Structure 1
Amino acid sequence: MKNLKLLTLVLAMMVFVLAACNSGNESTNDSNTSSEQSKGASVDGYPMTISPTIATTESEEAGTVAFKDVTLEKVPERIVVFDYGFLDTLDAIGVEGIVGIPKDTTLPAYLSKYASDDYANIGTLKAPLLEDIAALEPDVIFISSRQATFYEQLKEITPNVIFVGTNQNDYWGTFLKSTEIAGKIFGKEDEVKEHVAKIDTALEEVKGLASEFDTTLVTMYNEGKLSGFATNSRFGYIYDIYGFVPVTEDIEASSHGSNFGFEAILDFDPQVLFVIDRTAATGATSNIASDMENDIIKQTTAYKNNRIVYLDGPLWYLSGGGVQSELAKIQEILNELK
């Protein structure tokens, strides 16, 4: 009887140990699966074809540049990103594998980790280090307009060069398309939708705020000089999407705005004056407040009512077009004008 009890006890212990081992293996397998999914290994739809956010762009050096669809055979694991807006979106949705970015400008604080040596310097926004990029052996290179001149040369490194930049003629549409590209490639569609939903909520709030003002002017400050922006321009979405009413439509639409003087601002006399600090975006010392708040500007309605809004240069000039930056832009305006 004692031997029978002992045998029963031994068998019970063996069953318990085997069950624990199987449980441990399942846990390990679950962990490995989760890890693989975070790298995009379980993304469906490959091979997949990705279309650029725009079909063509104009380059002073290369003329008209046409961007082609790209067919990816698998989820990219070594990623080079020139567009800070797209980097912003990849960062927000938790994409791993970024190996190189341009480091010639001041990154917004929330992207400062990419300035570390963990990420290779691939040159400047307008002058890629082609040999250094080739040495990284990227699976994909994401570009925007500033790199259009080098499109064909980058394609010699990898055929997977995808244009993901925004376009001033349809800024919001191209921004949303870039987020869709990120979500599709890396299997992060749900994450992208969550971020876009937050932006949509903030948009409704800023539209309500914009309705309180009759006239607005968007300008950009660069080392003492000013540019003005109307609708259908680089920062025209402040009018078109946010709902602020432009003080005038008589401003040339261009990527860097129309040359503007302080006297012109006084003549238009907007209730709200937005000023984007491009000088700060380049890393140089900015004297924006002292230059802007001169005797002429002090006569404007915007100054008298404390409605001159200085907008963060790196955020607005460099990293726009990402889910984090587009939300931060709206929140900055809400914080300043509410």
Structure 2
Amino acid sequence: MFSSIKVKFLVLLTALFALAGCDDKKEAPAANKTSITVEHSQGKTDVPENPKKVVVFNTATLDIIDALNIPVTAVPQSDVHFPEFLSKYADKTYTNVGTLFEPNYEVLSSLQPDVIIAGGRANDVYKKLSDIAPTISLDIDPNNFVASLTERTEQLGTIFAKQAEAKKLIDDFNQKIEGLKAKTSNAGTALVIMVNGGKMSAYGPKSRFGFIFDVLGFKPAATFQEAGRHGNAVTSEFVLSVNPQWLFVLDRDNAIGNKEAQSAQQVLDNELIQKTDAWQQNHIVYLDSTSMYISGGIQTYSRLMDQISDVLQKTSAN
């Protein structure tokens, strides 16, 4: 009798192991589909498919992520002046992981994120971030802006299973470009300047803010050998000498929340600038500086196009 019970027990045990083995086989294929290889500005990285704990340091990428309604766990909040449409990320709902330049590694390690999205101002600390979690740098190339922006949006759509949403976002963006280019073809020459600490720097085609020339088709009032991220130092005399018909202005002090410096309007309100065609035709456009300087993703440039379209419509009606 004892032997009979023993045999039955062994048969039952074998059956249980067999069932457990079947369960393992069912789960195995799913385990093989848990990562995606992402090619980015720092190389190639395997990231989890549709990650849940997401840390974003690159504000241009955050701009796109927000447009795709992708949930975010943590962002840098210290000394960060978010544009209005991204202001919710300053809330305590999101974990603060330091500044755009200096991550809080202790908080990051305890958070155990599934993926860290770096790039932009956090590129210098990419190696340290990648030691904590899979890290990708989805920078946008200003020399090939639309194609690069499209690629980054598509990549985020693939990582977070938002392919359809990404396609619609890109289609709407390209449609807006085509609609605006029809209005800018005969708009005249333009100059993009940034005011910082009472001084001016200018940007031309293929620069950090070259979208106005490279994509929208405004003719540059001046060309520069090399702009760099900080532009080319210019004076009011220079602006008058190239005499742009349009002047697009960014206020860096306003963008970073510095209330002590002269505003861009104050700096430009002088006799030399007042002699330019841009001033006399009321063609000076003050851009959303926080959006352009801090973020710079698909929502930023969509809003920029809306602003320019409105200005062109108003001036053509006069």
- Structure 2 length normalisation: TM-score? 0.84
The answer for the alignment partner of 1:268 in structure 2 is: 242
Deviation at 1:145, TM superposition (A): 2.9
Q: What residue ranges of structure 2 are gaps of 5+ in the alignment?
A: 1-29, 314-318
Take 1:265 and 1:251, find their aligned partners in 2: how far apart are those partners? 17
1:243 maps to which of 214, 217, 220: 217
Instruction: State whether structure 2 residue 47 is matched by structure 1 residue 72.
Output: yes
2:38 aligned partner, one-letter code: I
Evaluate the alpha carbon distance shift between residue 45 and residue 221 of structure 1 in structure 2; reply closer, same or farther with a 3 A threshold: farther
- Flag the 1:95–1:294 CA change in 2: closer, same or farther, 3 A: same
**Paired letter, 1:247:** A
Say whether 1:162 aligns with 2:162.
no
Does the residue aligned with 2:302 lie in a helix, a strand or coil?
helix
1:45 to 1:227, Cα distance in 2 relative to 1, 3 A:
farther
The answer for the alignment partner of 1:214 in structure 2 is: 188
**For residue 304 of structure 1, what is the aligned residue in structure 2?**
280
- Corresponding residue to 2:233 among 255, 259, 265: 259
2:271 paired residue among 295, 298, 323 = 295
Cα distance change on mapping 1:110 and 1:145 into 2, 3 Å:
closer
1:104-143 to structure 2, matched below 5 A, reads 104-143=79-118
Pick one of 47, 51, 67 that aligns with 1:92: 67
Matched, 1:181 2:173: no
The two structures, once aligned, show a CA RMSD in angstroms of 1.7
User: Contact 2:118/2:136 (CA < 8 Å) preserved in 1?
Assistant: yes
Query: Shift in Å at residue 101 of structure 1?
Result: 3.2
Residues 97, 239 of structure 1: alpha-carbon distance in 2 compared, 3 angstrom cutoff = closer
CA separation in 2, counterparts of 1:162 and 1:231?
Answer: 28
User: Which residue identity lines up with residue 71 of structure 1 in the other structure?
Assistant: D
Q: Which runs of 4+ in 1 moved over 4 A?
A: none
Cα offsets for 1:31-76 (capped at 9, x unmatched): xxxxxxxxxxx9x964211111x3xxxxxxxxxxxx1211124321
Shift of 1:97: 4.0
How far apart are residue 251 of structure 1 and its match? Answer: 4.8
Q: Percent identity?
A: 33
Q: Distance in 2 between matches of 1:96 and 1:235?
A: 29
Tell me the distance in 2 between the aligned counterparts of 1:196 and 1:283.
31
Q: Hey, what does 1:204 align to over in structure 2? A: 178
2:93 is paired with a residue whose SS is: coil
Q: Does the 8 Å contact 2:185/2:217 carry over to 1? A: yes
Residue of structure 1 aligned with 2:36, choices 41, 48, 53 = 48
For 1:167 and 1:127, locate their aligned partners in 2 and report how far apart those are by CA, in whole Å.
23
Amino acid at match of 2:238: A
CA distance in 2, matches of 1:45, 1:225: 53
Cα deviation per residue 1:103-152 (whole Å; 9 max; x = unaligned)?
42211111111110011221111111121222221111101131121111
Q: Which amino acid aligns with 1:75?
A: N
**Number of residue pairs matched by the alignment:** 281
Cα distance, 1:196 vs. partner?
1.4
In the alignment, is the contact (CA less than 8 A) between 1:89 and 1:324 conserved in 2?
Answer: yes
- The aligned residue for residue 172 of structure 1 is 146
Q: Given the superposition, is the C-alpha separation of residues 189 and 74 from structure 1 closer, same or farther in structure 2, using an over 3 Å criterion? A: closer
SS at structure 2 position matched to 1:69: strand
Distance 1:270 1:97, change over 3 A: closer
Whole-angstrom CA distance in 1 between matches of 2:71 and 2:276: 49
Contact 1:315/1:329 (CA < 8 Å) preserved in 2? no
